[in-house]
Structure 1
């Protein structure tokens, strides 16, 4: 099941994908006499997604074909949502081969980003004034579905709602000046793009997914989730022991590699089996970010 948030005139509203387009939740409510929330974050926070999953598996997928759709090529995607309670990032997580189970690694390198950094599919990444070394990196994003605290790795999948595609930006010169400046380097407006889809029950084995950073149509970096030092389930458990994780929280899992982005570039994040996340880059200051 794939969920999204679309821009419809002056509002942003949740939608569900079918093979040939997207159905707005408000349309589904009218046709199928349901009362699903039309805000994706509110659906997640209220626990409605569990009911939607059951509906989808038990004939709902077919009933979507009774609904008016928005063709994919006409859809204008928003970020999945704009106000998650927490956004965690993880650095230096990929190896060139599967991690050695007999080797002890240092704890994950974690940082947080503000929700004011969020943009969505086809929005513009704004390079900060004076920056000559802004980077972008593709990542697999984890979306938390249930409140969890002090859980273990083997239980983590029960608390994960799904996955999404992420582009994480960094002003690398600020970070290079002092490693303690990482949060500032990653917190500029437009420095986190995520979506276009929340992918729920789409993958039998997350470790098999390939994550790729693409710049101007060229594949620059690619790796497989199985090569992470710390797999997604470990990262959820680890961060649940730092602070309570809540529905809608995002955990970015690290990147196979970053690229320097400049005015006019198009940068993409790819995850196996999912549509790419695509953003253009602008170097001069804008008055307003879409």
Structure 2
């Protein structure tokens, strides 16, 4: 499996399990992560063929892998167990919403909580993000491999006290700055659809596993989500659908949050 990422200073990177090289050193025609996503997976160069020495992942400070951020779709109540925990009716269609690009931040965050006078109960939710690789609309589920480039760990945030006032406040409850952390990289498997069989998601707060599940627990699997939302709008390389959480944990300043998305990667962020 290969990985696309950006360093904290914005340098696009290409990697594998042995480490990362500058994207331009592996593919001189690839200037941005979006350029590379259009060629994933078959058209991506091999990091080992680059004229640069691999740097191990643990020696790199990673930034937000996508810049500029474009469309960010979120999916609510997509795990049956989580919907039951919230005493919510299982939706018959995906319960989706859009988050503005200003919510997005990279590994480490920090997640900056609003003043308590604005909201005093914010939750963090680990999720699997699906990253688009092509410009497309009106696709079918069996075209998933043709249009999706890879996957990214995500920590999504919700202001639950605002949302409880009125479900129509969902956009505001989801849209505070830093309310979506993504990274540290985009995993690029050979077959995105087959890769989904092995994925599990854990929400971890202060080293305690708050919730975990496999994609078998989803009401709407990623191929269905991509096909469904492609009937609404045109997707472009780098657009993301965050596919919902197995469960959320309340966060406070000083906490540490992880999205453990196996085998994609582990995303961590502090809370301030």
Tell me, yes or no, whether TM beats 0.5: yes
Decide which of 43, 48, 53 is 1:68's aligned counterpart: 53
**Which residue of 2 is the match for residue 41 of structure 1?**
34
Q: Structure 1 CA distance, aligned partners of 2:43 and 2:195?
A: 21
Distance 1:53 1:187, change over 3 A: same
Partner SS, residue 134 of structure 2: coil
**Which residue of 1 is the match for residue 196 of structure 2?**
206
Alignment of 1:16-35 (within 5 A): 16-28=14-26, 34-35=28-29
Decide which of 174, 179, 190 is 1:186's aligned counterpart: 174
**Which residue of 2 is the match for residue 113 of structure 1?**
99
**Which residue of 2 is the match for residue 287 of structure 1?**
none
Q: Structure 2 CA distance, aligned partners of 1:250 and 1:226?
A: 21
Structure 1: give runs of 5+ residues left out of the alignment: 98-103, 283-290
Alignment of 1:148-163 (within 5 A): 148-163=136-151
Q: Structure 2 CA distance, aligned partners of 1:36 and 1:183?
A: 35
Cα distance, 1:55 vs structure 2: 4.9
Cα distance, 1:218 vs structure 2: 1.3
Decide which of 35, 54, 57 is 2:43's aligned counterpart: 54
**Which residue of 1 is the match for residue 222 of structure 2?**
232
CA contact (8 A) 1:82 1:115 kept: no
**Which residue of 1 is the match for residue 11 of structure 2?**
13
**Which residue of 2 is the match for residue 253 of structure 1?**
243
**Which residue of 2 is the match for residue 3 of structure 1?**
4
Partner SS, residue 180 of structure 1: helix
Q: Structure 1 CA distance, aligned partners of 2:3 and 2:36?
A: 14
Distance 1:82 1:173, change over 3 A: farther
> Which of the pair has more CA radius of gyration?
1
Q: Deviations over 1:94-122 (max 9, x none)?
A: 1249xxxxxx9611101000000110111
Q: Structure 1 CA distance, aligned partners of 2:172 and 2:247?
A: 20
Decide which of 43, 62, 79 is 1:94's aligned counterpart: 79
Q: Deviations over 1:74-102 (max 9, x none)?
A: 311111123233111000011249xxxxx
CA contact (8 A) 1:146 1:247 kept: yes
Distance 1:176 1:279, change over 3 A: same
Whether 2:174 is the aligned partner of 1:174: answer: no
Decide which of 130, 137, 153 is 2:125's aligned counterpart: 137
Q: Structure 2 CA distance, aligned partners of 1:95 and 1:199?
A: 26
Q: Structure 1 CA distance, aligned partners of 2:7 and 2:264?
A: 17
* Structure 1 runs of 4+ with >6 Å offset: none
Give the aligned CA root-mean-square deviation in angstroms.
2.0
Cα distance, 1:275 vs structure 2: 2.7
Partner SS, residue 92 of structure 2: coil
**Which residue of 2 is the match for residue 78 of structure 1?**
63
Structure 2: give runs of 5+ residues left out of the alignment: 83-89
CA contact (8 A) 1:14 1:24 kept: yes
Partner SS, residue 73 of structure 2: strand
**Which residue of 2 is the match for residue 124 of structure 1?**
110
Higher mean displacement: 222-231 or 73-82: 73-82
Distance 1:265 1:107, change over 3 A: same
Q: Structure 1 CA distance, aligned partners of 2:238 and 2:44?
A: 21
